Chain A
Amino acid sequence: MLLSDLYLWLSYSRVSTSKINKLLEKMSPLQLWNSFSDAQTYNLDEKTLNALKRTRSAEYLERTKQYLETNNIKYITRADPAYPVMLAQKEVNPPPVLYYKGNLDLVREPCLAVVGTRKASQYGKYVVSKIVSELAKSFTVVSGLAAGIDGYAHAAALEVGGGTIAVLGSGLFNPSPVSNLGLYDDICKNGLVLSEYTPDTHASEYTFPQRNRIISGLSKGVLVVEAAAHSGSLITANCALEQGRDVFAVPGDIDKIRSVGTNKLICQGATPVTCAGDIFDSYSMALPKSESKSKTVEIDISEQVVLNILRNGEKSFNELAETCGLSVPELNTALSTLMINGLIRERSKNIYCVSI
């Protein structure tokens, strides 16, 4: 019996990872396998015993391996030297097997988790794309493929050609949400999708909090972008603390529901992050060289007027129309040209500000 097959057995028994790890503290996987043939009874509850018994067959495991191969799903067990070192730590509660699609080499590069609320605001989206596009040059970006911040983080990393890892809360056959399926395919091709659950597992309310420990476990640190008071991202942040990872948080307005969680993290000692540089500093890493956009943009008078007003703070379209002295068509043209040239951006609907 190969050690890797034994781990596969443990994974396919679908006994919870923490129970398996408790058992493995007492004995090796091989001992466990053999103990069943001796008809020896251990301190196991009936359910666990049955689950392990049901899947304890060499033939079953052989079929399973074939099944995984035909479905093009690769797996790595704890017996494998390539198993991510960061995960093997005891605090992480390492799963016996990781199922994955894509490039596994990414886990050996320095990873950083970027997580946040599913109900992201325009601001959150902007912050993620801004910071992650910098981070992705030096880090592999780890996140959970959820809607909102998670999805934006993956997309931003892929956009700049960086590596990204999506850790699913379900089996690889059932990625969710539907809106991110396109992204899932992209990550399979250009990144890494992994899950501790057997491929046909469906997501449940227990699986998502569980996978958060893997997101933080894989990473050197966790960056929380937007989180409400009881957000799942805070679970990830807690996991990170237990595992001895760093926690970063992007501060937000104190009156916004989506900032309560991140602001609380900062109060509790998380490092506030306002730009990618803050994270590079805390790891004493040099800022990656950005291709300096020294491209000068020609600006005409009306655009200059608008830009000057916006430099003093964000303004809505109506405020601009009343103060800038331009006609509405002129103002529209000026705003549009400035946006196309990347000098300003629409912060939320009809509200404009200077891009940083």
Chain B
Amino acid sequence: MLARINSYALDGLNGYRVSVEVDVHSGIPKFEVVGLPDTAVKESRERVRSAIKNCGFYDTPRKVTVNLAPANTKKAGPIFDLAIALGLLCSTEQAGIDENKRTLTTIEEYVFLGELSLSGEVRHINGVMPMLISAREHGISKIVIPRANANEAKYIRGIEVYAVDTLADAVSLINGNRFAPIEKSEIDVNSVGSAVEDLKYVKGQYSAKRALEIAAAGGHNIIMIGAPGGGKTMLAKCLPGILPKMTEQEILETTKIHSIAGILDEDCGIVTTRPFRTPHHTASRIALTGGSSSSRPGEISFAHNGVMFLDELPEYPRSVLEILRQPLEDGVVTVSRAARSVEYPANFMLVASMNPCPCGYKGSATHECSCSPSQIQKYMSRISGPLLDRIDLHIEVDEVNYDDLSSGELAESSAAVRERVNVARGVQTKRFAGTSIYSNSKMTSEMIKKYCELDSAGEKILQSAFDKLGMSARAYTRILKVARTIADLEGSEKVSAKHIAEAVMYRSLDKAVR
């Protein structure tokens, strides 16, 4: 007898319906899975058979054919286990029938997702959130998922979600027993990120702290340059504590990606604080952009709506850094492979740190630099101009002296800074309502013209900054954007001369070119 069970699969961020057809017929006992399955899907036959046996059903010693339709897309992962097992049970008339052995139609209403353990337990799977969202768009009303995924499912409205613990639960569901769908809850947009470090413990570094505040408020890319031991990494680690709260839209976008990659916190279920990703400099290009045969998203997509911190920027291979250019500009990364091409959002804030030269002490007040000009040039040339172009704020981080370290005084705490950042980001959310961007850093030229209009004093100071400090033309829009954020932090409607003047201070690399 043929059984047909609905399931779902993912192509990039979009889901599509997969029909799991199970047929049991006479022949040499065999279990065949067709429909471009990968190894994990093929192996599901072993899990399915054991699970069936261990849940008190009997395994049939006949020929079983499983087809995953549409047959022309690659199926990956163990998410079809539950559907295959149910299909097998239905086709052997152990489930989906009433007491009079008549076939029930309840099974057609549901979509089943889940991996099985040998004991029949339904286990956690990746990608539930984007599949739920797609399923809802496709008009599917009931979906069965593993209990372990219930936390991420409870935020998706407009679809009934049933969480099951074991295969037996699922069988009971399709036999017509009534289950309560999981309760929905509201997304809490006010949760606070847990930072490893707090700004109040950072001694001195006033300029750097202010720059971080501006960067967090406007989502600006920032690079910190300084001698070893200056506290660049510590400053970066403070950043999660001052990042603005996420909007509901941002939370859903980021959770979708984390769900696919399987890096969601199971207890929380969604990403409520901005992600802070720190890929090591041995990371490959694929690890950053995403890809591989299963088109998994990469680090830059994991950092969507959050921060990607690249410590010791010149240590990254140049080819890895160059691939950041397009995502930094467009906020998306397109992973194209021979078989298909997938677009993942990658709207992240780049935070980088580097030394001014290979030995690290160029311009230091306490150490002599031992690098030759060509060494320094070689070191700096590992970071291309176009990449630096996309970084709004450059700051020099000083070495910390002993007096600062030993003083017991605490600086302003991250929480206080975060208050201001939240207010400034709120202004931006209001300003960009109805557009596709959330922060000042992503303003288009048209928006810059509209929102960063300068009075004559502002024009004059910008003009003289270019003449006096030898700024390059690339700095122009960057300064305007940063000045807009500074004005937002101050609660000022207009960008004035003093905002421009402060923004000019954060272009140290441009000045160095002089």
- Give residues in A with beta carbon < 8 Å to B: 118-119, 122, 147-148, 177, 179, 256-257, 316-318, 321, 328-329, 331-333, 335-337, 339-342, 346, 348-351
Contacts and interface: CB of A to CB of B under 8 A. Distances in A.
Contacts of B363: 122, 348-349
A329 B502 CA distance: 7
A202 B294 CA distance: 55
Contacts of B502: 329, 332-333, 336
Interface string B196-221: 00000000111101100000000000
Interface stretch (B62-70, B71-79, B460-468): B460-468
A147 B465 CA distance: 26
Interface stretch (B152-160, B242-250, B301-309, B367-375): B367-375
Contacts, number: 79
Contact of B464 (A118, A119, A341): A341
Nearest to B466: A340
Contacts of B261: none
B501 A340 contact: yes
Interface in B443-474: 461, 464-465, 468-469
8 shortest interchain CB distances as A-B pairs: A336-B501, A321-B206, A349-B396, A318-B204, A328-B210, A333-B498, A332-B502, A349-B363
Contacts of B504: 336, 340
Nearest to A331: B206
Nearest to A348: B363
A316 B398 contact: yes
Nearest to B395: A350
Contacts of B374: 177
23 contacts: A118-B372, A119-B373, A148-B373, A317-B206, A317-B207, A321-B206, A321-B207, A328-B209, A329-B210, A329-B490, A329-B502, A332-B207, A333-B501, A335-B505, A336-B501, A336-B504, A336-B505, A337-B497, A340-B501, A348-B365, A349-B396, A350-B207, A350-B396
B103 interface: no
A179 to B, nearest CB: 6
B265 interface: no
Contacts of A336: 465, 501-502, 504-505
Interface in B414-461: 461
A347 to B, nearest CB: 10
A257 B368 CA distance: 8
Contacts of A335: 505
Given A317-B206, A318-B207, A337-B497, 4 more contacts: A340-B504, A349-B356, A349-B363, A351-B365
Interface residues of B, number: 35
Contact of A328 (B207, B369, B373, B468): B207
A177 B499 CA distance: 40
Nearest to B214: A329
A122 B368 CA distance: 13
Interface string B498-514: 11011011001001000
A329 B486 contact: yes
Nearest to B369: A119
A177 B204 contact: no
Interface of B: 204-207, 209-210, 356, 363, 365, 368-369, 372-374, 377, 396, 398, 404, 461, 464-465, 468-469, 486, 489-490, 497-499, 501-502, 504-505, 508, 511
Given A316-B398, A332-B505, A342 B210 contact: no
Contacts of A316: 398
A349 B365 CA distance: 9
Contacts of A177: 373-374
B20 to A, nearest CB: 61
A340 B461 contact: yes
Nearest to B507: A336
B480 to A, nearest CB: 15
Contacts of A321: 206-207
Nearest to A121: B363
A179 B461 contact: no
Given A318-B204, A332-B505, A336-B501, A179 B464 contact: no
A332 B489 CA distance: 15
Nearest to A179: B377
Contacts of B372: 118-119
Contacts of A339: 468-469
Contacts of A119: 369, 372-373
A339 B490 CA distance: 23
Given A177-B374, A349-B398, A318 B461 contact: no
Contacts of B505: 332, 335-336
B40 to A, nearest CB: 54
Interface centre among A119, A329, A349 (most CB of B within 10 A): A349
Contacts of B204: 318
Interface centre among B205, B369, B373 (most CB of A within 10 A): B373
B475 to A, nearest CB: 13
A260 B501 CA distance: 39
B206 A328 contact: yes
A139 B469 CA distance: 26
B319 to A, nearest CB: 23
A142 to B, nearest CB: 21
A337 B398 contact: no
A313 B235 CA distance: 29
B396 A340 contact: no
B320 to A, nearest CB: 25
A316 B366 CA distance: 13
A119 B207 CA distance: 28
Given A147-B373, A148-B373, A348-B365, A337 B206 contact: no
A317 B486 CA distance: 19
Contacts of A351: 365
A340 B373 contact: no
B471 to A, nearest CB: 10
Contacts of B377: 179
Given A179-B373, A318-B205, A332 B396 contact: no
A148 B377 CA distance: 13
Contact of B373 (A118, A256, A346, A348): A118
A351 to B, nearest CB: 7
Contacts of B464: 340-341
Contacts of B508: 349
Contacts of A348: 363, 365
A340 B206 contact: no
A337 B373 contact: no
Contacts of A332: 207, 210, 501-502, 505
Contacts of B369: 119
Contacts of B468: 339-342
Contacts of A342: 468
A118 to B, nearest CB: 6
Nearest to A256: B368
Contacts of A331: 206
Nearest to B461: A340
A351 B401 CA distance: 14
Contact of B206 (A179, A318, A346, A349): A318
Nearest to B396: A349
A256 B364 CA distance: 12
A147 B356 CA distance: 18
A148 B374 CA distance: 11
B375 to A, nearest CB: 10
